[in-house]
Amino acid sequence: MIVLGGKPGADGDDLIEIAFPRYARKVKGSAKDAAPLMPVVRIEAPRTASWQAAQSAAWRSVPARDEGESDEDFTARAAAKFKSIGLVMLVDKLGFDAAIAGVVRELSVYYLALALIRDWTGIVDEAGEPVEPDAESIKALMQVPDIATRFEREVEARLGPVISEGNV
């Protein structure tokens, strides 16, 4: 069915489901034979526009070097900014350029998730209560390394050929 005048994905037909069986858990109070609740994240189909927007937003998050600022001062200021949003720059291990690239990649995954995640099941808070996808909960979810990696792989599997050909 095609809904004319509707927003793409509004009816949920073209949403992509990403399941995380590793995190499946029995729900407290459920029957013994009940299947474990498996977290599932439903995302809008990624498009080159969403990928480009995420990349742009991530790069805009990188502070600009002030005129005359030393490498050490700039590194310290950039590291402090990224730490304030929950990211760590591994300058000592990777070097400055690689550390910035790593932070930008992590931020672009977050911005993609923010743009693409429509809903989910099986994502709960510490009390076991369901959590709605909002900016804060999506950020927390994308800070779980294997979740972020799986999300990124799903998006890249769909956009990879287009991006690798330079058609972005």
Chain center to CA of 100: 17
Give the pLDDT confidence score for residue 115 in this predicted structure: 95
Q: Which two tokens stand for residue 167?
A: 């058609």
Average pLDDT, the chain: 81
Give the pLDDT confidence score for residue 101 in this predicted structure: 84
Whether 146 is covered by a domain: the verdict is yes
Which residue(s) pair with 43 in the sheet?
16, 117
Whether 99 is covered by a domain: the verdict is yes
Whether 7 is covered by a domain: the verdict is no
| CA 126 – CA 152 distance, rounded (Å) | 25
Whether 103 is covered by a domain: the verdict is yes
Give the pLDDT confidence score for residue 109 in this predicted structure: 93
Give the range of the structural domain holding residue 59, as residue numbers without chain letter.
16-25+37-164
Whether 43 is covered by a domain: the verdict is yes
Residue spans of the chain under pLDDT 50: 1-4, 9-12
| CA 130 – CA 65 distance, rounded (Å) | 42
Task: Please report where in the chains the tokens 């950020």 appear, as a residue.
Answer: 139
Whether 158 is covered by a domain: the verdict is yes
Whether 50 is covered by a domain: the verdict is yes
Which among 156, 151, 157 has a CA at the least distance from the CA of 139? Answer: 151
Q: Which two tokens stand for residue 28?
A: 């407290």
Number of domains the chain contains = 1
Whether 69 is covered by a domain: the verdict is yes
Tens of pLDDT, residues 121-156: 999 888 888 899 999 999 999 989 899 999 999 998
pTM of the complete model? 0.77
Give the pLDDT confidence score for residue 2 in this predicted structure: 40
Q: Which two tokens stand for residue 26?
A: 């029995």
